[in-house]
A = this chain, B = another copy of it.
């Protein structure tokens, strides 16, 4: 591979190897973060070896350290990157909505599941839950970037429903919590027990749970529950 290079003079742009290498070089951080995310989700922070991350990203151990000065920093970068993504997703789906507040919340939760809960990136929740106490700085970060925006989003929708007379008057933050908790829980579950083959376990059909959840909670929220 090395000594054959001089045999092919200067066809640089046509050489797929060079093209690949270039493309690879720029994609390195992405690939490393991707590999690290997968492994951290699979095995946790401590049980993931640096070399495994490098291998899965197709580089050598040394190269990993060219991009991230330590395993801790790599971990933080993984969390940061995926948190940014989460935020982006959140804002994206917040958007403008015309219909009823029940429909809005249903749509929001449904979308969250499809775009976050059901994707590999959801595993980030698992790691963060497990490791915040070992990386205290992440707590503030995660609170600012995820918990508070998400709460604001959902609380806002609940408040909208109350303001429009669709929902009963209820404490919005608590409702917000009750609304998201089962989804996050389910998402986390998929990355722990969901990956372990057990005999006789309770099969969870996410769609069914989501439907039931909405069915129960929205009905519980709606004011016409008493009226009808």
Contact = CB atoms under 8 A, between A and B. Distances in A.
A171 interface: yes
A99 to B, nearest CB: 20
Interface string A193-228: 101111111101100110111011111110001101
Given A143-B193, A185-B184, A202 B132 contact: no
Interface stretch (A39-47, A51-59, A75-83): A39-47
Contacts of A94: none
B182 A139 contact: no
Interface string A143-184: 110011001000000000000000000110111011001101
A173 to B, nearest CB: 6
B128 A208 contact: no
Interface string A121-149: 00000111111111010011011100110
B139 A170 contact: no
A176 B217 CA distance: 13
A178 B47 contact: no
Interface size bracket, A side: 35 or more
Nearest to A218: B220
A37 interface: no
A84 interface: no
19 contacts: A42-B133, A44-B131, A44-B133, A44-B134, A126-B129, A130-B130, A136-B197, A140-B199, A143-B193, A148-B201, A174-B213, A177-B204, A178-B182, A178-B216, A181-B185, A182-B182, A216-B220, A217-B217, A226-B228
